Amino acid sequence: MSEKKITLAHGNGGKLTHETISSIFVPAFNNPELRELADAACVSVGGQRIAFTTDSHVISPIFFPGGDIGKLAVAGTVNDLAVMGARPMYLSCGLIIEEGFGVDDLRKIVQSMSVTAKEAGVHIVTGDTKVVEKGAADGIFINTSGIGLLSEKVPKGMKSIQVGDAVILSGSLGDHGVAIYSKRENLLLKNSLKSDCAIILPLVEKAMGVCDSIRIMRDPTRGGLATTLNEFVSEQAFGIEIVEENIPVKEAVMAVCEMLGFDPLYMANEGKVVMVVPAESAEEVVSALKSLPLGRDAAFIGHISGEFPGKVCLKTLVSGERMIDMLVNDPFPRIC
Amino acid sequence: MSEKKITLAHGNGGKLTHETISSIFVPAFNNPELRELADAACVSVGGQRIAFTTDSHVISPIFFPGGDIGKLAVAGTVNDLAVMGARPMYLSCGLIIEEGFGVDDLRKIVQSMSVTAKEAGVHIVTGDTKVVEKGAADGIFINTSGIGLLSEKVPKGMKSIQVGDAVILSGSLGDHGVAIYSKRENLLLKNSLKSDCAIILPLVEKAMGVCDSIRIMRDPTRGGLATTLNEFVSEQAFGIEIVEENIPVKEAVMAVCEMLGFDPLYMANEGKVVMVVPAESAEEVVSALKSLPLGRDAAFIGHISGEFPGKVCLKTLVSGERMIDMLVNDPFPRIC
């Protein structure tokens, strides 16, 4: 890493984030679990296989259409466990609060964490609260770490992906990113957009119920779908081809993106899952997802291709082809 | 809780922190593991008993005599697992970094985490990095959550404490709090004081090796020994009597405390353990602790007494008696 100072782009979940991880963290903390760079580490404790993950949430604003930082913190960590094929069980809650923060707001956030945890069937069993002076933090930051139980039947991960496999997305792209951006910038939208912030565990369970050879699942948060798909293939002998017209994007999201020059492929999602499955299971998995309200816009959006090793290629609406890199410079700070 | 705004005292680890926990978090997250209010939650995952804990570190300054925020973050979480009688195994690392933070400082901190993790025999297997705009955080905050393996032989906790039991402290009080305070305020001390920041796992293992009926162990961090001892007895039918002249405090620490009106009983420690053991094991446990460099000042400092239900009583050097409450108003912000 050549930079001397940390920039917002180091935290955008894209290329610089990956560089920081691979040049600073992976060499220092050197262990096989971390090197997997999955959404959660899979470890053994006394012979029991468990998934373990952590996420700090610094979203601004803390209350937004469709959720708040509390809901996001619980759903985000539950989702990271779910996409590993784990059954989420226990969460921790580490708060950093700025002096002067409203106790009523804290109560609302904690209540929201409690409701979301109940919905996900997890227990928040341990916590820590730090208070820093006025000006030393912006309101409230929440870390949630989580533990999930791994079964025998979990996705085998990147190495199991094969040419011809189908890429499936559980719903429309960019709702969270655009909702946060609009709220932050006080954009007045006729159809006020909501974040898609949600527990995706039911989607994952439904898909695993009809397909026991899902290769990999991820929730495309910071960095968006484009970054997640690049992670799937960046060191592989094959690539991914996705078809623009198959990718669900809400009209209002598209409108904001066009107005501001954003690309929905890079916008954050907080209630979606992208999965790679064998081609022959694709139809069944899409149907299974569509049977749930959260998955009604699920779609088969592309496939693993031998043509573009290590790359993600978008077939555009005008029949062109465009290579899609990881998120690079756009910082989108504090989106989660 | 009657306050409308969060104050620094809500985060000092003392009375207001306890009030916040019991009035906001415990009712909302309602579950037996959290209600224990131990340093880590003891949970079952697929039949395996594990300890799970979290701590956010917001210390200022981030580099201090005897350590840095990285060493503190790893040692703090390892110690929270160790005092539950668990074998610390895996840690997570959640960073919140202010835009403009030096990459060299980040490397130093990560290196320090790596060295401390090796010393403790734990692996940092999962992580998350968020970057916030300049001014939205102060430098760097680190959350570490941790998982440990529980054996059959763990301390039974507060309910197992009995009148007559001995209270043992592994070394001198207040080194961390006074070192941080002095560095922050640029106090020039002749014998420059160092934080006691250290992994206490060897002390805990040594004690458990000679005594299989340790009632409870804690590392007295924020709020100091006074707050920890109050936690032991606050809802019990008995109290604790400690003897001032038996409590090890370094001369330099005492000097700073006297100069500034602090009480070492309330100063934070980051490499000490206090334990309650059956009276007949006290001598053997103290000898065992003393056999390690980290425990050379270990001392039998008092006992569980039927006389002061729910209270902690200090027999002072001048043969007086003084009731010692939890830390109340002093904020001591960002001490860990």
Q: Do the domain assignments include residue B312?
A: yes
Q: Kindly state whether residues A194 and A274 are assigned to the same domain.
A: yes
Residue among B154, B100, B283, B113 nearest A3 (CA) = B100
Q: Supply the mean pLDDT for chain A.
A: 95
Q: Do the domain assignments include residue A4?
A: no
Residue among A222, A211, A229 nearest A169 (CA) = A229
Average pLDDT over residues A13-30: 92
- Residue B20 CA to residue A335 CA, distance in Å, equals 28
Residue among A229, A242, A239 nearest A273 (CA) = A229
Average pLDDT over residues A295-318: 96
Q: Which residues of A touch B128 (CB under 8 A)?
A: 54-56
pLDDT band for position B260 (50/70/90)? confident
CATH number at residue B122: 3.30.1330.10
> In the structure encoding, which two tokens stand for residue B335, read together?
């001490």
Query: Which of B96, B130, B150 is the last residue in one of the domains?
Result: B150
- Residue A317 has a pLDDT of 84
Q: Kindly state whether residues B81 and B225 are assigned to the same domain.
A: no
Question: Tens digits of per-residue pLDDT, B112-164?
Answer: 999 999 999 999 999 999 999 999 999 999 999 999 999 888 999 999 999 99
Q: Do the domain assignments include residue A114?
A: yes
Q: Which domain holds residue B127?
A: 38-150
Query: Which of B108, B123, B150 is the last residue in one of the domains?
Result: B150
Question: Tens digits of per-residue pLDDT, A147-194?
Answer: 999 988 899 999 999 999 999 999 999 999 999 998 988 876 666 789
Q: Kindly state whether residues B133 and B176 are assigned to the same domain.
A: no
Measured between CB atoms, which of B7, B24, B147 is closest to A147?
B147
Q: Do the domain assignments include residue B188?
A: yes
Count CA atoms closer than 13 A to A223's CA, side-chain side: 25
> In the structure encoding, which two tokens stand for residue B171, read together?
């070394």
Our count of domains for chain B comes to 2
Instruction: State the nearest Cα–Cα gap between A17 and chain B, in angstroms.
Output: 8
pLDDT band for position B191 (50/70/90)? low
Query: Which of A150, A183, A216 is the last residue in one of the domains?
Result: A150
More confident call, A151 vs A282 = A282
Q: Kindly state whether residues A109 and A135 are assigned to the same domain.
A: yes
Q: Do the domain assignments include residue A31?
A: no
Q: Supply the mean pLDDT for chain B.
A: 95
**Secondary structure of residue A231 in the 3-state scheme:** helix
| E-only strand ranges, A151-270 | 166-169, 216-218, 239-243
- Residue B63 has a pLDDT of 97
- Residue A35 has a pLDDT of 87
Please check the confidence at residue B90 and state whether its pLDDT lies above 70. yes
CATH number at residue A281: 3.90.650.10
Q: Kindly state whether residues B165 and B270 are assigned to the same domain.
A: yes
Instruction: State the nearest Cα–Cα gap between B308 and chain A, in angstroms.
Output: 30
Measured between CB atoms, which of B21, B126, B136 is closest to A34?
B126
Q: Kindly state whether residues B70 and B180 are assigned to the same domain.
A: no
Q: Do the domain assignments include residue B336?
A: no
Q: Kindly state whether residues A239 and A294 are assigned to the same domain.
A: yes
B50/A53 touch (CB, cutoff 8 Å), yes or no: no
Q: Say whether the ipTM exceeds 0.90.
A: yes
- Residue B88 CA to residue A124 CA, distance in Å, equals 20
Please check the confidence at residue B286 and state whether its pLDDT lies above 70. yes
Residue among B105, B301, B136 nearest A6 (CA) = B105
B135/A133 touch (CB, cutoff 8 Å), yes or no: no
Q: Do the domain assignments include residue A5?
A: no
Q: Kindly state whether residues A191 and A131 are assigned to the same domain.
A: no
Percentage, residues of chain B above pLDDT 90: 88
Hey, what's the torsion of the CAs at B222, B227, B228, B234, to 10 degrees?
-150
Instruction: State the nearest Cα–Cα gap between A62 and chain B, in angstroms.
Output: 13
Measured between CB atoms, which of B6, B100, B147 is closest to A99?
B6
Please check the confidence at residue B330 and state whether its pLDDT lies above 80. no
Q: Rounded to 5, what percent of chain B is helix, strand, coil?
A: 35, 25, 40
Give me the phi and psi of B19, to 5 degrees please.
-65, -45
A54/B110 touch (CB, cutoff 8 Å), yes or no: no
**Rounded (5°) CA angle B193-B268-B78:** 100
Residue among A39, A56, A21 nearest A141 (CA) = A56
Q: Which residues of A touch B104 (CB under 8 A)?
A: 4
Percentage, residues of chain A above pLDDT 90: 88
Q: Which of A116-125, B147-156, B323-332 comes out lowest in average pLDDT? A: B323-332
Q: Kindly state whether residues A229 and A320 are assigned to the same domain.
A: yes
B94/A48 touch (CB, cutoff 8 Å), yes or no: no
Instruction: State the nearest Cα–Cα gap between B290 and chain A, in angstroms.
Output: 31
Q: Kindly state whether residues B164 and B304 are assigned to the same domain.
A: yes
- Residue B239 CA to residue A260 CA, distance in Å, equals 65
Q: Which of A162-166, B65-69, B314-318 comes out lowest in average pLDDT? A: B314-318
| E-only strand ranges, chain A | 41-45, 48-57, 63-64, 67-68, 86-98, 123-132, 140-150, 166-169, 216-218, 239-243, 274-277, 299-305, 312-315, 321-323
How far is C-alpha B125 from the geometric centre of its chain's CA atoms? 24
Q: Kindly state whether residues A123 and A185 are assigned to the same domain.
A: no
Q: Do the domain assignments include residue B265?
A: yes
Q: Kindly state whether residues B170 and B227 are assigned to the same domain.
A: yes
The residue behind tokens 């039974």 is B156
